[in-house]
Structure 1
Amino acid sequence: MAWGYRAMFVLLDTYKRRHGCDTLRQMISRYAPPVENHTAAYIDTVANRSFVNPDSRISTDNREVMIPIVSAMSFVENGVPAVAADVKAGWELFIKYRP
């Protein structure tokens, strides 16, 4: 599971670095576009569960912001809360093996 969470951290970091997505709204709109998803509901759920304003600029280097975001995205994708230890382990792998 940790490697899967690492992949999500890498993906969101790539969205920021390569595509200029620096808000939760921009990242999720790219990840879950409206042509395939209910993007507004996805954004609202992640924002509410992570306590991150969807239009605030975020740093993908900020552990305290990114772990709750990825945990909330996992909840949207799987319908169950993420195991915190797995998400934290994914963060550590992201930091250790940065692209």
Structure 2
Amino acid sequence: MTAKSTLPPRGIRNNNPGNLNFAHQKGAVLEPGPNARFARFPTPEAGLAALRDQLCLYIVRDGIDTVTGIISKWAPPNENATASYIRAVCRFMCVGPDAKLGPPTPKLLTSLMNAIIRFENGQNPYGSLVAQVAANLPPGGVSA
């Protein structure tokens, strides 16, 4: 009989609920371990802010404004079940995969962030913290 792991999911342990790859984000370090590739943030708020900022970059800088576009870039098919991910996010947000989402607003970002967190981790322990972080948009919806 094998004992079931009681460790929280990797994204939660790393304060990185979007499972962002480490890219020298402000305040982040590379997660420890032999298969390290994801960022580890000092607090849940910092990880949520990084998730928010990355979504803003996709929407504003890159002009990617559909669930299909965002999730295809976020979780490319060469390493993810991207089609399943897109379907799950669309169901959560009650939008079509190619519906234009518009500019980043606290409401849109809260919805996207909650959907991504749930898919990436199988849970979302952050409650209203997601909306609080999403409401604190950087100027112009994008931070450098």
TM-score bin (small chain): 0.7 to 0.9
Corresponding residue number in structure 1 for 2:129: 86
State the one-letter code of the partner of 2:104.
D
1:32-53 per-residue CA deviation (whole Å, 9 max, x = no partner) reads 0000100000011111112222
Instruction: Indicate if the aligned counterparts of 1:24 and 1:56 stay in contact, CA closer than 8 A.
Output: yes
Separation of aligned partners in 2, 1:70 and 1:8: 7
Return the offset for 1:20: 1.9
Superposed counterparts of 1:25-40, under 5 Å: 25-40=68-83
Among candidates 61, 64, 67, match of residue 21 of structure 1 = 64
Aligned to 1:63: 106
Asked if 1 retains the 8 angstrom alpha-carbon contact of 2:57 and 2:142, the reply is: no
Unpaired runs of 5+ residues, structure 1, are none
1:52 corresponds in structure 2 to: 95
Deviation at 1:74, TM superposition (A): 0.1
Equivalent residues, number: 99
| Greater per-residue helix proportion | 1
| Contact 1:22–1:59 under 8 Å retained in 2 | yes
Aligned to 2:38: none
The one-letter amino acid of 2:74's match is Y
TM-score relative to the length of structure 2: 0.61
- Contact kept in structure 2, 1:2 and 1:89, CA below 8 Å: no
Q: 1:70–1:87: 8 Å Cα contact kept in structure 2? A: yes
The one of the two structures with greater contact order (alpha-carbon pairs below 8 A, sep at least 6) is 1
What percentage of aligned pairs have identical amino acids? 28
TM-score w.r.t. structure 1 length? 0.85
Preserved contact between residue 67 and residue 87 of structure 1 (Cα < 8 Å): yes
